[in-house]
Amino acid sequence: MVVGDTGKEVAVDIGGGQGEYFVDRARGEPQKTFVILEPAPLSLPDKPPNLHIIRWKSTAALTLPFADKSIDEVNINYLFGKMEPSRLERHRPLDQKEIYRRLIKDARQVLKSGGKISIIDAHCHINLIKEILIESGYHIVQEPISLPDPDRTYWSGKFTEDYERNEESFVAPMIIEAQK
Ligand SMILES: C[S@@+](CC[C@H](N)C(=O)[O-])C[C@H]1O[C@@H](n2cnc3c(N)ncnc32)[C@H](O)[C@@H]1O
């Protein structure tokens, strides 16, 4: 496993999409290890050596593929409402809030004490995400604010365009950060 006890800080992006955000981060912070978890196939020809890709999909039955207390930073960007149930779960569907809550709790399990979780999502979801973080035992270190760099991820850029075109404040990209 890529995140063995190397002594390096490890940052994870769950549902990292095509990986643009972590490619930039990995190039800018070569001293850290970056891991993208993504169910869709992802090929990055110019992948920096400190960036790893794991084909992985969160389900009710699966936990994150890391040891407890081994991760320094978890990022979850635009995943609320986007997580499709696995084939097994279709027979007893969980609502999106429940699926998301399980993932947030699981992320807390793999984070080191003092580790950070950073979540970007649409304005309309951010207060519910804050409630889930608090219920799951995190301390909020950054209250929800407008994302200062709207092009941080592919989807934050897309939602920013939508927001600017239609002035629909519910899609505006927001960020919230919390600590274990
Ligand atoms: C809206 S995109 C966001 C991509 C990226 N985080 C961004 O902000 O540009 C949602 C991503 O989550 C992935 N995804 C969907 N269901 C997932 C699951 N159950 N577990 C992990 N990732 C999932 C999708 O394949 C997709 O890449």
Output the DSSP codes for 59-108. Answer: -SS---SS-TT-EEEEEEES-TTT-PPPTTGGGSPPPHHHHHHHHHHHHH
Q: Has domain 10-179 been given CATH number 3.40.50.2300? A: no
User: Which residues, judged by CB distance below 6 Å to any ligand atom, belong to the binding site of ligand 1?
Assistant: 14-17, 38-40, 57-58, 77-79, 82-84, 153-156
User: For the segment 120-135, what is each residue's pLDDT rounded down to a tens digit?
Assistant: 999 999 999 999 999 9
87: pLDDT confidence band, cut at 50, 70 and 90? Answer: low
pLDDT of residue 50: 96
| Residue 14 pLDDT grade (very low, low, confident, very high; cuts 50, 70, 90) | very high
pLDDT at 173 over 90: yes
**Which ligand 1 atom lies nearest to the CA of residue 86?**
19
Which of 21, 79, 155, 156 for mutating ligand 1's site (highest number of atoms within 8 Å of CB)? Answer: 79
Percent of the chain with pLDDT over 70: 91
Mean pLDDT for the stretch of residues 56-82: 90
| Sequence spans of domains, the chain | 10-179
Distance 168 CA to ligand 1 centre (A): 23
The pLDDT value recorded for residue 96 is 79
How much is the pTM?
0.94
Q: What is the maximum span of the chain, computed from C-alpha positions, in angstroms?
A: 48
Among 12, 24, 82, 162, name the best residue to mutate to test ligand 1's pocket (greatest count of ligand atoms within 8 A of Cβ): 82
